[in-house]
Amino acid sequence: MEHLELFFKSIFIDNMVFATFLGMCSYLAVSKKVTTAVGLGAAVIFVLAVTVPLNWLLDQYLLQEGALAWLGSEYAEYDLSFLSFIMFIATIATMVQLVEIIVEKFSPSLYNSLGIFLPLIAVNCAILGGSLFMQSREIPSLGLALTYGVGSGIGWFLAILAIAAIREKIRYSSVPPALRGLGITFIITGLMAIGFMSFGGMLTGGDEEKKEKTTEVIVFSKLEKSTEVKKIDINEKSDTKEVAENIKEIEK
């Protein structure tokens, strides 16, 4: 159940493109044709599924505070988390290279369809973003890290597939000249992102509800403060009135 929830959450609610804008560069550059978009999307799913669990292991047994405890008690206090950027990007670059070599060796047909896109992927923000979000959201187990990687990969795949299909059709419509190409793609992506926001209510009890609650509390506390201030004002006014009345009485 936990896996299923994370899976759907990473595809729809926390969609890489529409919620966090990761991998926008290649999303915009490679979405002119559906076939190339499918190739890149498949490569992203594949690489995310490999690198997120791998970086989870690195994070858990090397980088986190106290992660080196397995080496011996004298290492238990080390905190190497400042190295995580460099470790993650090195893992990703090496894995991409490795995946490229392996795929070329064992499945030349897959290599021919993915081949050109694999080197591009090393610098795709979605891949590094996947690992960094995995770290900051503190995903608890290796299995869940795999689910998260595959889920966010599929989310990215869906997004690039959808925009490529729309861009193939939009060629036949009369867009204002200045908006042609890039401009209209941005606006369509914005509208799609609004559409994807409606998935937000799909799984209740997630992080978003908590966030909303905290903002509500802040607003309420502000309101309470302002009403308190007003009450005090009123009290002061009534005090002064009383004082004035007292003075009048004394004068009489």
Helix (H) or strand (E) holding 20: none
SS3 label, residue 23:
coil
Among the listed residues 4, 25, 202, 244, the single contact to another protein using CB under 8 A: 25
Q: Report the sign of the C-alpha dihedral through residues 153, 154, 158, 164, in that order.
A: positive
Q: Report the sign of the C-alpha dihedral through residues 199, 203, 204, 208, in that order.
A: negative
Region of 39-47, 148-156, 172-180, 232-240 interacting with another protein (CB under 8 A)? 172-180
Q: Does 180 bind another protein (CB under 8 A)?
A: yes
Among the listed residues 132, 142, 161, 203, the single contact to another protein using CB under 8 A: 132
Among the listed residues 4, 57, 179, 244, the single contact to another protein using CB under 8 A: 179
Tokens of 68: 């080196």
CB of 244 to another protein, least distance (A): 28
Enumerate residues 183-242 that contact another protein by CB under 8 A: 183-187, 189-191, 193-194, 197, 222-223, 226
Q: Sketch the per residue contact string, 81 through 120, with another protein: x for CB under 8 A, - otherwise.
A: -xxxxx-xxx--xx------------------------x-
Contact assessment for residue 124 and residue 130, using Cβ atoms and an 8 Å cutoff: no
Cβ contacts of 113 within 8 Å, gap of 6 or more:
39, 42
Rg over CA atoms, the chain: 27
The C-alpha atoms of residue 126 and residue 245 are separated, in whole angstroms, by 73
- Residues near another protein, by CB under 8 A: 18-25, 28-29, 82-86, 88-90, 93-94, 119, 122-125, 127-129, 132-133, 136, 171, 175-187, 189-191, 193-194, 197, 222-223, 226
